[in-house]
Amino acid sequence: MKKLRLVLGDQLNHEHSWFDEKNPDILYVMAEMRQETDYVKHHIQKVVAFFQSMRNFSEYLKENGHEVRYCKISDKDNPNELTALLSNLISKEKIECFEYQLPDEYRLDVQLKDFCESLKIDFKAFDSEHFYTSRTELSEFFEGKKMLLMENFYRMMRKKHHVLMQGSQPEGNLWNFDKDNRLKYKGQVPIPVAIGFQQNINEILSEIEKANVATFGKIDSKNFNWPTSRKACLAQLTYFCENLLKHFGDFEDAMHTDEKFLFHSRLSFAMNSKMLSPKEVVDTVVDFYYENTEEISISQVEGFVRQILGWREYVRGIYWKEMPNYAQMNALENHHKLPDFYWTGKTKMNCMQKAITQSLEEAYAHHIQRLMIIGNFSLLMQMHPDEVDAWYLGVYIDAIEWVEMPNTRGMSQYADGGILATKPYVSSGSYINKMSNYCGSCHYNVKDKLGEKACPFNSLYWHFLDEKKDYFANSQRMAMMMSLLKKMKPAELAATKEKAISLMENRENL
Ligand code: FAD
Ligand code: SF4
């Protein structure tokens, strides 16, 4: 029976059981499509990284004896739409059975289900064999519970998968070393030079340009530094273990004007494209820790494991539990548009200038920049979550909706009304000053609420709390913030609100 098997651009799983058998009657199809480049405007590095990784993966399959039909963005007969591509191949190649791996995006899941229903041949969906959990495991775990606490899910995952456990007890006798992960970076330890991945991306770049794919952000073809093959991804993992892991937890929440990556792993693209599995990343890191306990403390490793075994699986579960409604949520009824500087980085706010410019130059910002700088500012400015979502989905190398949306709409913008986060992640300038060196060289003064040069985060913070006080009236987690708001003198609050409103109105000029 002649089979057609679809491999999507984020399904580059070299270890998938599909590839155990070599069979000339199985045709694999992979395609660079306008459908995928155009559903949101992407960063140019993201498009290049996906296409380059897909091309490398198709070469790998061919070298290993599999039949592959690869459709480039520049191919004249590329229909650029998934169902047209599949229908053409099914009739041209006289395919008798169509098979695909479950996509991680709701949009593609619906498209493929609808397509299969229209088919007159057999079809079958397979697991992508990537995640620790199934789509529904989180929903089943939290069944009947009001609060979907990540910490509870994470502990279950640690026990179930025997990660960092000593019998039934957590390694180091604590489940969570979060409180140890809050050092400010002041150059205490040097940051090793990033590993380089030399690769020629000129051909892909010119094909993307010729196809008139609309993108944004910067790319330097001589310094394109994302791993786009399994070998390179494994090298990045080894590099992380040997060079960065020993300080990962300590500086997890730190931000610094001169250091874009600090001790972060930059493994998200490798995992989200599935070139690395989360299990092999966690196992490698944990094994490395056990071999080097004199040099590496448990708090560094636990901090890292929590992100992957905990947060990454957790947000995926929330996505499948809540979609498609999640994509429409706007619990705080925010409606403002993003200012232009989200696409230029041209703002006098040093923290925003650094975090946005870095995002545009590298297609990367680390977690705390995404959450407590750009996300914080977007929420304090009461931006529409659709706008914020689209920007995050476009700009980051690792942005795929299943992981981007719960993080942005949920954790960062509280648009889901607290399904994911127990309180909104908002702060005034003082938190940013505590965790970074941004404020020292800023046009604005972090200590001031009022006045020409007052840090915008300050008045916006109190205005946000005041605007949303009815919504959070019964929230225990917000009680302290709200009691401080209540203690503010009416005249001071009125002046602060007036300042915040004028900042919102003049947001293009901040
Ligand atoms: P490290 O700091 O080295 O962390 C290790 C790994 O843990 C990451 O590679 C990632 O796979 C995982 N991880 C860490 N935090 C999270 C999290 N909150 N959710 C899921 N996985 C996590 N991550 C994405 O992969 N894609 C996104 O589109 C994305 N959008 C985000 C949007 C916002 C507003 C926020 C606050 C976070 C977002 N994250 C996203 C999570 C996190 O910021 C990135 O995974 C991380 O910055 C990637 O860099 P790294 O590989 O160096 O991570
Ligand atoms: Fe950001 Fe305010 Fe600090 Fe400037 S002073 S860097 S705007 S927090």
Give tens-digit pLDDT for 28-69: 999 999 999 999 999 999 999 999 999 999 999 999 999 999
Characterize the bridge pairing of strands 165-166 and 169-170: antiparallel
| Interval between CA 448 and ligand 2 midpoint (Å) | 10
Domain ranges in the chain? 3-126, 137-210+222-322, 341-509
| Closest approach atom of ligand 1 to CA 367 | 43
92 burial via Cβ count (<10 Å: 0-12, 13-18, 19+):
exposed
Contact present, 402 and 392 (Cβ < 8 Å): no
pLDDT tens digits for range 459-506: 999 999 999 999 999 999 999 999 999 999 999 999 999 999 999 999
| Interval between CA 508 and ligand 2 midpoint (Å) | 16
- Candidates 446, 447, 507: which one to mutate for ligand 2, based on the most atoms within 8 Å of Cβ? 446
| Closest approach atom of ligand 1 to CA 261 | 52
CA distances from 18 to 43, 94, 118 (A): 31, 21, 24
| Closest approach atom of ligand 2 to CA 445 | 5
| Interval between CA 268 and ligand 1 midpoint (Å) | 6
Q: Which residues line ligand 1 (CB under 6 A)?
A: 264-268, 271-272, 307-308, 311-312, 315, 366-367, 370-371, 375, 392, 396, 398-399, 403-404, 407-408, 411-412
CATH architecture assigned to 341-509? Orthogonal Bundle (1.10)
**CA nearest to 83, candidates 25, 6, 9:** 6
Contact present, 388 and 411 (Cβ < 8 Å): no
223 pLDDT more than 90: no
| Closest approach atom of ligand 2 to CA 432 | 8
**CA nearest to 412, candidates 398, 437, 393:** 393
Mean pLDDT of 154-175: 95
| Interval between CA 395 and ligand 1 midpoint (Å) | 13
Strand partners, 141: none
pTM, rounded to two decimals = 0.96
The CATH number given to 137-210+222-322 is 1.25.40.80
137-210+222-322 and 341-509 in the same fold: no
Per-residue confidence (pLDDT) for residue 394, from 0 to 100: 98
End-to-end CA distance of the chain: 63
177 pLDDT more than 90: no
| Interval between CA 23 and ligand 2 midpoint (Å) | 60
- Candidates 43, 277, 367: which one to mutate for ligand 1, based on the most atoms within 8 Å of Cβ? 367
| Interval between CA 503 and ligand 2 midpoint (Å) | 14
| Interval between CA 356 and ligand 2 midpoint (Å) | 14
Give the CA radius of gyration of the chain. Answer: 24
Per-residue confidence (pLDDT) for residue 221, from 0 to 100: 87
Q: Atom 6 (ligand 2): residue with closest C-alpha?
A: 439
Per DSSP, the three-state class of 123 is: strand
**CA nearest to 34, candidates 215, 275, 220, 271:** 215
The CATH number given to 3-126 is 3.40.50.620
Q: Kindly indicate the confidence band of residue 265, based on its pLDDT and cuts at 50, 70 and 90.
A: very high
Q: Which position has the token pair 């937890």? A: 249
193 pLDDT more than 90: no
| Interval between CA 348 and ligand 1 midpoint (Å) | 27
Per-residue confidence (pLDDT) for residue 155, from 0 to 100: 97
What's the farthest any 2 CA atoms get from each other in the chain? Answer: 79
Percent of the chain surpassing pLDDT 70: 100
Q: Atom 41 (ligand 1): residue with closest C-alpha?
A: 367
